[in-house]
């Protein structure tokens, strides 16, 4: 591993071990908490790996160290030397008996003390981002992305880099962000799918990780205006083949997070049993028809043909303890590119994967319409402009191939895995309709 600059500094996790007891070590980090009690000052040091209590005793350190310890404020950065001791009263069971301490960057009064409201905390996001909760979630997200990449590389999927600036909508105009592009109009990508489809004709199995943008009108617990989208597209894959890939991918990610991030899951008080249930595949599959029956049985006033909202999805998740699929949606509630079921052309060969425990949709995918005529007909039916999709239609003219793909909302997955109740904490700087600050 690359060493960080500076000789001899260790990390909290490296010193909080039985074999380190009695050793003198050097650490550096930020003041997580400070208490001054008579001739003792307790400073809890926070670094990227955790926290450790540092005890400064007035008569046992040089004058300068004591002065610095008195002066240091919460969130100041500092360097410290001391002897590792066991102390069951200290957080984590270890303490550093300080022999030397120096401030690096003295902090002004930190504007977050605890108990502030969410809007205030979002305004101070650049500082709130240091919180242990957000740190734990960011580490989980790191492991989610790393696991996804591991799975995809091992299974022969090519990583590609589609554009963010696009000329046409993938998921319909309602959530499209328009932008000024020199003297023309362009859009921010809602999905890389259409470009990934072009790439399967050479690479066959492709994937990308990009920001996607949705001008979501309402503020909900699970919608961001900008989110990270992991998308796969495979030539020769039919719907069921692609569903298998999606459940393998999700169960692999959950497995790796359980292995790598158990400390963070515990910090977040995540019930790991719920995650362990997701290791076993295949996940259950129901058709949209059945979903409607279940909902009607549960007293929902919903008719065949209507879209499932967050409340409906939440109710459906009560029926399952693992992620599960809903398939074969009515064509009128799904995108133009989805292939119609040849047995039953009022429904599409589309699938959503829903996470249990109320979380709902984490993946949307489908088999794609691969016939030029049928795709053109759908474009007309939906009142879209065929000119905008000329290049996309071309893909059906030059060696068309059956193919399928899906998109996974990274923050939706992280939200479920972390067991948190709002999507905003799965991304460092969340974007909603109301704010782009900081």
Binding site residues, ligand 4AD, CB under 6 A:
170-171, 190-191, 193, 214, 216, 223-224, 227, 229, 231, 361-365, 405-407, 409, 411-412
Residue 227's binding partner out of Mg ion, ligand 4AD, none, with CB under 5 to 8 Å set by partner kind = ligand 4AD
- The DSSP-derived string for 62-99 is -HHHHHHHHH--TT-EEEEEEEEEE-TTSGGGEEEEEE
Question: Minimum CB separation from Mg ion for residue 365, in Å?
Answer: 9
> Which of these ranges, 55-63, 230-238, 360-368, 412-420, lies near Mg ion under the rule CB under 5 A?
360-368
* Piece of the chain touching Mg ion by CB under 5 A; list 183-191, 192-200, 235-243, 356-364: 356-364
DSSP state of 171: S
Binding site partner of 322, from Mg ion, ligand 4AD, none, Cβ cut-off 5-8 A by kind: none
Residue 365 lies near Mg ion (rule: CB under 5 A): no
234 vs 364 by CB, closer to Mg ion: 364
Site string for Mg ion, 37-76 (x = CB under 5 A): ----------------------------------------
Closest CB to ligand 4AD among 227 and 252? 227
In the complex, the smallest distance separating the C-beta of residue 216 from ligand 4AD, rounded to whole angstroms, is: 5
Consecutive H or E run containing 338: none
Cβ closest to ligand 4AD, residue 65 vs residue 191: 191
At 335, give phi and psi (nearest 5°): -70, 160
Provide the 8-state DSSP code for 236: T
Indicate which of Mg ion, ligand 4AD, none lies near residue 409 (CB less than 5 to 8 Å, by partner kind): ligand 4AD
125 C-beta neighbours (distance < 10 Å), count = 16
**CB of 27 or CB of 326, closer to ligand 4AD:** 326
Burial class of residue 344 in the structure, from the number of CB atoms within 10 Å of its CB (0-12 exposed, 13-18 middle, 19+ buried):
exposed
Three-class HEC string of 180-200: EECCEEEEECCCCHHHHHHHH
Nearest CA to 318 out of 371, 285, 290, 359 is that of 359
Cβ closest to ligand 4AD, residue 76 vs residue 208: 208
Minimum gap (Å) between residue 67 Cβ and Mg ion:
60
Which residue has 């997070």 as its token pair? Answer: 257
Peptide linkage before 282 cis (omega within 30 of 0): yes
Half-sphere exposure of 72 (CA within 13 A, CB side): 33
The residue among 51 and 395 lying less far from ligand 4AD, judged by its C-beta, is: 395
Q: Which residue has the tokens 């499932």?
A: 308
Segment interacting with Mg ion (CB under 5 A) among 145-153, 214-222, 247-255, 359-367: 359-367
Structure tokens at 364: 């949307």
Distance between the two ends of the chain, CA-based, in angstroms? Answer: 33
Decide if residue 364 touches Mg ion (CB under 5 A): yes
């Amino acid at each position: 591993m690359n060493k960080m600059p500076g000789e001899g500094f260790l990390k909290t996790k490296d010193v909080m071990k039985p074999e380190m007891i009695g050793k003198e070590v050097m650490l550096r980090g930020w003041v997580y908490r400070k208490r001054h009690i008579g001739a003792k000052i307790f400073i809890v040091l926070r670094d990227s790996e955790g926290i450790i209590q540092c005890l400064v005793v007035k008569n046992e350190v040089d004058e300068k160290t004591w002065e610095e310890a008195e002066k240091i404020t919460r969130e100041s950065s500092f360097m410290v030397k001391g002897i590792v001791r066991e102390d069951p009263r200290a957080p984590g069971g270890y303490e550093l008996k300080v022999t030397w301490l120096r401030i690096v960057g003295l902090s002004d009064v930190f504007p977050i003390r605890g108990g502030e409201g969410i809007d205030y905390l979002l305004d101070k996001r650049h500082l709130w981002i240091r919180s242990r909760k957000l740190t734990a979630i960011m580490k989980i997200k790191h492991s989610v992305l790393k696991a996804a990449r591991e799975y995809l590389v091992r299974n022969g999927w090519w990583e590609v880099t589609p554009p963010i600036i696009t000329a046409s909508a993938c998921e319909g105009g309602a959530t499209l962000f328009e932008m000024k592009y020199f003297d023309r109009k362009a859009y921010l990508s809602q999905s890389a799918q259409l470009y990934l489809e072009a790439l399967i004709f050479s690479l066959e199995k492709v994937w990308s990780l990009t920001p996607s943008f949705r001008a979501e009108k309402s503020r909900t617990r699970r919608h961001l205006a900008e989110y990270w989208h992991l998308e796969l597209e495979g030539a020769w894959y039919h719907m069921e083949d692609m569903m298998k890939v999606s459940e393998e991918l999700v169960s692999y990610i959950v497995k790796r997070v359980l292995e790598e991030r158990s400390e963070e899951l515990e910090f977040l008080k995540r019930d790991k049993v719920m995650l362990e249930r997701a290791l076993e595949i295949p996940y259950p599959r129901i058709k949209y028809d059945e979903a409607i029956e279940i909902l009607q049985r549960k007293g929902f006033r919903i008719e065949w043909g209507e879209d499932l909202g967050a409340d409906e999805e939440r109710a459906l998740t009560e029926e399952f303890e693992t992620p599960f699929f809903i398939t074969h949606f009515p064509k009128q509630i799904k995108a133009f590119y989805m292939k119609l079921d040849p047995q039953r052309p009022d429904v599409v060969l589309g699938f959503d994967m829903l996470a249990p425990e109320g979380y709902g949709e984490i993946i949307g995918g489908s088999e794609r319409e691969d016939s030029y005529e049928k795709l053109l007909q759908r474009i007309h039916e939906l009142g879209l402009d065929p000119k905008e999709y000329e290049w996309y239609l071309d893909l059906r003219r030059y060696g068309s191939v059956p193919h399928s793909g899906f998109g996974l909302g990274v923050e939706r997955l992280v939200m479920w895995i972390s067991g948190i109740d709002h999507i905003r904490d799965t991304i460092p700087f969340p974007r909603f309709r109301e704010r782009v600050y900081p």
